[in-house]
Amino acid sequence: MGLFDSLKKSLQDLSNEVEKHKDDIQKGLDLLSNQGSQSARSNDSAPSAQYASRTPDHSSCFDDNSVYPGPVTTAHVDRFNDFDGIIARNFPDHEVRRNVPASELQPGCHPACTPVQFLFYSGGKPVLAVVLVRTNNYGGMNVKATKKICEDLGIKYIRFYHEYENAESYVVERIKKYL
């Protein structure tokens, strides 16, 4: 296979990937345009009682391209909401805070550090950080920095990939393993 054949195949693969996600991208763009200045990721519904938090709404953290590069899609919002529901159903007795900026764990850290989407507490202390990442950014400095902050503070850290199925039983099993 020659250079041009390889290039043609790569372009075709890229085109296929774009085509697969075209509807999600369009839904995300429509959602953004319909809401005007309101963020598509803001959480309009009241959080579950077990998520009552002293933390202000940090949904704006998702606007950082280093966290979720590319356009916001309803798939991103849906995935976050899927995890929110799984945690609410299976860990109702745990204190869980959502979208905790890394700066709350380590003041003065770089502002691009990835927020912890779900931070589990025990006895008033954080014990487990659950972070949702994409397969193309889990090795980014913003994600690594948050992981290091957690490790330095003795907080267990697990990540789930946005693009993978993450069946409820799998998510629950992994979280229970670390709690």
Name the pLDDT band for 68 (thresholds 50, 70, 90).
very low
Tokens at 45, concatenated: 């519904």
How many CB atoms neighbour CB 65 within 10 A?
9
User: Across the strands, what pairs with 151?
Assistant: none
Tokens 């502002």 sit at which residue?
Answer: 111
Please name the residue that has the structure tokens 């890229």. 14
For β-strands 156-161 and 116-122, DSSP reports them as unpaired
Q: pLDDT tens digits for 129-175?
A: 999 888 887 888 889 999 999 999 999 999 998 888 888 899 999 99
pLDDT of residue 134: 85
Looking at this protein, which amino acid is placed at residue 138? Answer: Y
Q: Is the pLDDT of residue 33 over 90?
A: no
Taking the complete model, does pTM exceed 0.85, yes or no? no
Q: pLDDT value at position 81?
A: 77
The predicted pLDDT at position 46 comes to 36
Length of the chain as a residue count: 179
Q: Which residues pair with 34 in a beta bridge?
A: none
| pLDDT at res. 38 | 39
Predicted pLDDT at 20: 72
Least confident of 10-14, 63-67, 148-152: 63-67
